[in-house]
């Protein structure tokens, strides 16, 4: 079959979104100080991570910030080899989900360990990370 004819669109898009973080600013500021915060609902007691400004469980907006110690256990993980376009310059990265001792779970990169050495049940710590260009994130490191 002949190669199908296509018209390449002349109009292109480069989209950058502005994400409002005013109501969770303590979390993002905390990362710069090496701290990881969750929010705890003052009405029903539910602990939320990632943090929220409103409790969807009971409808209260009375939440308080609580620092997490970050210790947890890996429940599952993967290593991303084929990457999305905006991560194309990264080396293969391990993403893990761990349950922290406070009872909440977190999803983040696991660094400082080879994929072959990662096991379900492995002890890790969730730590804040300042990325070189001033952006902040968090990641797991093996304990």
Partner 1 sequence: MGHSRFGDRSDVNLSELTFEAVQPSLEDSGLTAKEIPYVAVGSMGVWSEEPLPAVVIAEYCGLTGAGLVRCEAACASGSAAAFNAYSAVASGQMDAAMVVGVEKMRQIDTPTALEMIGRAGYYLWEFENFGMTFPAYYAVHAVQHMAKYDTTEEDLALVAVKNHRYGAMNPLAHLQHEITVEKVLNSSVIAWPLKLYDCCPITDGTAALVLASEEKVNELGVEAPVWIEAMGFSSDTANLSKRENYVGLEASVQASRMAYKMAGISPKDVDVATVHDCFTIAEIMAYEDLGFCEKGEGASMIREGETEVGGRIPVNVDGGLKAKGHPIGTTGVSMLAELTKQLREEIKPRGRQAPMKNYTALAHNTGGTGHYCYVTILRR
Binding mask 98-117 for partner 1 (x = CB under 8 A): ------xxxxxx-----x--
Name the token pair of 94: 């391990």
93 binds partner 1 (CB under 8 A): yes
Of the candidates 34, 45, 50, 103, which one interacts with partner 1 according to CB under 8 A? 50
Chain-centre distance of CA 26, in angstroms? 16
Site for partner 1 in 61-90 (CB under 8 A): 75-88, 90
Computed over its alpha carbons, how large is the radius of gyration of the chain? 19
Least distance CB 80 / partner 1 (angstroms): 5
Residues 16 to 35: which contact partner 1 by CB under 8 A? Answer: 19
Chosen residue from 25, 61, 62, 137 binding partner 1 by CB under 8 A: 137
90 within 8 A of 83, measured Cβ to Cβ: yes
First-residue to last-residue Cα distance in the chain: 58
Give 54's DSSP letter.
Answer: S
Q: Which helix (H) or strand (E) holds 30?
A: helix 25-32
How many residues would you count in the chain?
A: 143
CB of 72 vs partner 1, minimal distance in Å: 11
- By CB under 8 A, name the binding residues for partner 1: 1, 4, 6, 9, 19, 49-50, 75-88, 90, 93, 95, 97, 104-109, 115, 120-121, 137-138
């Amino acid at each position: 079959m002949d190669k199908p004819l296509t018209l390449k669109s002349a109009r292109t898009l480069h989209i950058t979104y502005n994400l409002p973080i005013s109501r969770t600013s303590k979390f993002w500021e905390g990362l710069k100080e090496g701290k990881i915060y969750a929010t705890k609902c003052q009405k029903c007691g539910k602990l939320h991570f990632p943090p929220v400004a409103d409790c969807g469980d009971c409808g209260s907006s009375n939440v308080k910030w609580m620092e997490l110690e970050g210790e947890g256990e890996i429940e599952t993980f993967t290593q991303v080899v084929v990457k999305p376009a905006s991560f194309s310059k990264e080396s293969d990265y391990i993403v893990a989900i761990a349950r922290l001792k406070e009872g909440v779970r977190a999803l983040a990169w696991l660094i400082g360990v080879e994929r072959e050495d990662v096991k379900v049940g492995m002890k890790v710590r969730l730590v804040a990370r300042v990325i070189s260009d001033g952006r902040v994130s968090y990641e797991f490191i093996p304990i």
